[in-house]
Amino acid sequence: MSADVVALLRHALGDRVDTSAASREHARADKSGHAAEGTPLAVVHAASVEDVQATLRIASATRTPVVTRGGATGLAGSANAGTGEIALSVRSMDRILEVRPDDLLAVVEPGILNADLDRALDAQGLWWPPDPASREISTVGGNIATGAGGLLCAKYGVVRDSVLALDVVLADGRLLRLGHRSVKGVTGLDLTALLIGSEGTLGVIVGATLKLRRRVPGETRTLTAMFPGVRDAAVASAAVTASGVQPAIMELMDAASLAAVHALLTLPPPSPGTTQLIVQTDGPAASAEAEEIAAVLGGAGGTVRIAADDAEAKQLWRVRRSMHPAMETLGTTLIEDVSVPRSALPEMFDEITRVEQAYGLTIPTVCHAGDGNLHPNFVFTGPDVPDAVWAAADELFRAALRLGGTLTGEHGIGVLKRRWLRDELGDDQWELQRQIARVFDPAGILNPGKVFAQSADG
């Protein structure tokens, strides 16, 4: 049967069907450190909407599972393709189809990289706000499929705030055009919002109409504040939020993550225990707001410095954006993702400290402190996550829920968190969401085993 499926794909799509061992092996994994069992039947490198439709029609007719992939930068295993599956890559669909400065929108294909889109829009004084740390390698379609955010979410919102419409191919090959190009639109159910964060379980995103912003006038200012401990920094970040001054970015790096990055970049090591807040303000009031935030952070016990120039600011942000490469130098890393109300950040860091002590672990953590999204990193040796790490992660996930938070702020559920999804949603909502998925994909061929699956791990 598998040979028949590949033959059908080759007949319809020719050399866009890749069965090389290297490509099939690559399609098993993303940046999560998790890999699917076995290898997919083939990797389809779609170049058009028609390619995607042809692939899904064949998959639907033969009941063959399909896993959609973009830049493979995900951190939950959502795009990992294994035995008996088709890996459908939309990475080559990377065109900007239309930019309308007068309407502040752009229409793009899903495979375009965040940074490439940003550079293209910059020439017209425009930008798309989502700003993941992986912006140079992550795709817009992947951002939408996982609900990924980034550093600028604190001031400019998350992905769902920046998408007006989606073109989606269903499991049977039908093309749907969801949403609208107007700023307002409340006709019918909001299926566009439903697709955002659906992780390839409802359909394949083949186009997106994005809500743009004009470049912020004025300047940006960057400041840093050093604290003797992570709780002190968390309290200070909550104080900034409570002050009413709105930073564009506010990032927290705990002592372990800061030390690892300094080592990677061959910078002088920070003092033991030192935690860093990095803050950016923008717009015409950037300087005044930076001074106000500096006063708040100084009053909270921080040692504050406002960057003297763009070069110093660039170096500070280089430190923050080097977090993931730094973790890779320490061993295998399970990069986790929980969110809590911003006022609960000190308590969440208390929980991380408690879990570290209970399990004898060091859990380097960075945090989008401006919106309450934390990324605890579990570092271990070998390819498989040890049971003790999963037990520690379990305690952190449940702590986030107790504090009014959520299992994931931007990475998604995928494979790695499916065992906890029911805990957050409750039985009724969990089953309702599964039923919705079945309406879109009655045969269950889209990304099976991800998100809503009844799995062996829980």
Q: What is the pLDDT along the chain (458 residues), one digit of tens a residue?
A: 677 999 999 999 999 999 999 999 999 999 887 889 999 999 999 999 999 999 999 999 999 999 999 999 898 999 999 999 999 999 999 999 999 999 999 999 999 999 999 999 999 999 999 878 788 899 999 999 999 888 888 899 889 999 999 999 999 999 999 999 999 999 999 999 999 999 999 999 999 999 999 998 889 999 999 999 999 999 999 999 999 999 999 999 999 999 999 999 999 999 999 999 999 999 999 999 999 999 999 999 999 999 999 999 999 999 998 998 999 899 888 889 999 999 999 999 999 999 999 999 999 999 999 999 999 999 988 878 899 999 999 999 999 999 999 999 999 999 989 999 999 999 999 999 999 999 999 999 999 999 987 654 54
- Statement to judge: residues 187 and 102 lie in one domain: yes
397 and 434 share a domain? no
- Rounded to whole angstroms, the maximal C-alpha distance in the chain is 69
347, 341 in Cβ contact below 8 A?
no
Domain that holds residue 13: 2-89
Same domain, 389 and 425: no
Q: What is the pLDDT of residue 456?
A: 45
Instruction: Clarify whether residues 261 and 369 are in a common domain.
Output: yes
Residues 246 and 387 in one domain: yes
Please give the mean pLDDT across all residues of the chain: 94
Q: Are residues 233 and 108 in the same domain?
A: no
Digit-coded pLDDT (tens) for 45-84: 999 999 999 999 999 999 999 999 999 989 899 999 999 9
230 and 321 fall within a common domain: yes
Rounded to two decimals, the pTM is 0.92
* pLDDT for 46: 98
Residue where one domain finishes, among candidates 89, 107, 128: 89
Residue-level pLDDT at 134: 81
Q: How far apart are CA 230 and CA 96, in angstroms?
A: 42
Pair (209, 241) in one structural domain: no
User: Which neighbouring-strand residues pair with 379?
Assistant: 333
Q: 3-state SS string over the chain? A: CHHHHHHHHHHHHHHHEECCHHHHHHCCECCCCCECCCCCCEEEECCCHHHHHHHHHHHHHHCCCEEEECCCCCCCCCCCCCCCCEEEECCCCCCEEEEECCCCEEEECCCCEHHHHHHHHHCCCEECCCCCCCCCCCEHHHHHHHCCCCCCHHHHCCHHHCEEEEEEECCCCCEEEEECCCCCCCCCCCHHHHHCCCCCCCCEEEEEEEECEECCCCEEEEEEEEECCHHHHHHHHHHHHHHCCCCCEEEEECHHHHHHHHHHCCCCCCCCCCEEEEEEEEECCHHHHHHHHHHHHHHCCCEEEECCCHHHHHHHHHHHHCHHHHHHCCCEEEECCEECCHHHHHHHHHHHHHHHHHHCCCCCEEEECCCCEEEEEEEECCCCCCHHHHHHHHHHHHHHHHCCCECCCCCCCCCCCHHHHHHHHCHHHHHHHHHHHHHHCCCCCECCCCCCCCCCCC
Asked whether residue 412 is assigned to any structural domain, the reply reads no
Domain count, the chain: 4
408 in any annotated domain: no
Question: What confidence score (pLDDT) does residue 454 get?
Answer: 62
In a 10 Å sphere around its CB, with 0-12 CB exposed, 13-18 middle and 19+ buried, how is residue 225 labelled?
buried
Residues 370 and 235 in one domain: yes
Is residue 52 a part of any domain in this protein?
A: yes
What is the model's pLDDT at position 237?
97
Closest by Cα among 124, 122, 123, 198 to 163: 198
User: Which CATH number is 72's domain given?
Assistant: 3.30.43.10
